[in-house]
Amino acid sequence: MSTATNPHKIISPVNVEKRQSINIQSGDTVRVVIRIPEADGKFRLQPFEGIVLACKHGHEAGATFTVRRVIDGVGVEKIFPLYSPMIDEISIVRRAKTRSSKLYHIRDKAARQIRRQMRRMIQVDISTGSAAEDERKAQEEAEAAEAKAKEEEEKAKKAEEEAQAVADEGAQTEDEPEEAEEGKAEEEEEEKEE
């Protein structure tokens, strides 16, 4: 049996001893450099840095660790297989001493902090707007201005007509007394002649 192979040996194209020796724990801040395949058969390297929420299955073949990162106010979690050949490098940036092995409560903590920040925010409506929308608004404003100008013009015409009508009535009433006075003067002259 001494010549038999170890049934628990992990077969992977990566250096298994290095991955086991890094000893990732929950609470650590790690930078995982991922190899992403491009269209032309080449790979580009993309780092993902965040806090380790959980490490599962120890150092066995199916070992995984979950990394959480907040990007533009959105929490992003990735589960990485420890022995994946698509991981180029794993480095521990910061070590933290934690009492629990699973830090899933950090999700809720982040949500509470965001809710607190939202209370302090003020609702505003600011936008760049499109050119077509600006033209439409300008056209509506021009039409409204034209309608208002027409309305004012009509009011001015009505007021002018009313003033003219009042002036005409006043002129007629002024003409009537003169005629009445002339008629009275004629009557008086006739009476004197008699």
| 84, amino acid identity | S
pTM of the model: 0.54
Per the DSSP assignment, residues forming a β-bridge with 64 are 56, 81
Give residue 174's pLDDT. 56
Encode 107-137: b = buried (16+ Cβ within 10 Å), e = exposed. eeeeeeeeeeeeeeeeeeeeeeeeeeeeeee
Give residue 101's pLDDT. 87
Whether residue 148 sits in one domain with residue 111: no
Q: Is residue 6 part of a domain?
A: no
Q: Is residue 187 helix, strand or coil?
A: helix
Whether residue 186 sits in one domain with residue 103: no
Whether residue 149 sits in one domain with residue 92: no
Q: Is residue 56 part of a domain?
A: yes
**Residue 89: is its pLDDT beyond 70?**
yes
pLDDT digits (tens, 9 = 90+) for 155-167: 999 988 888 888 8
The end-to-end CA distance of the chain, in Å, is 170
Mean pLDDT of the 80-108 span:
87
Task: Identify the band that residue 6 occupies on the pLDDT scale cut at 50, 70 and 90.
Answer: low
Q: Is residue 100 helix, strand or coil?
A: coil
pLDDT digits (tens, 9 = 90+) for 15-42: 888 888 888 888 888 899 999 999 888 9
Whether residue 99 sits in one domain with residue 32: yes
Residue whose token pair is 């298994």: 16
Give residue 194's pLDDT. 60
* Residue with the larger pLDDT of the pair 152 and 188: 152
Give the CATH number, domain containing residue 83. 2.30.30.790
Q: What domain range includes position 25?
A: 16-115
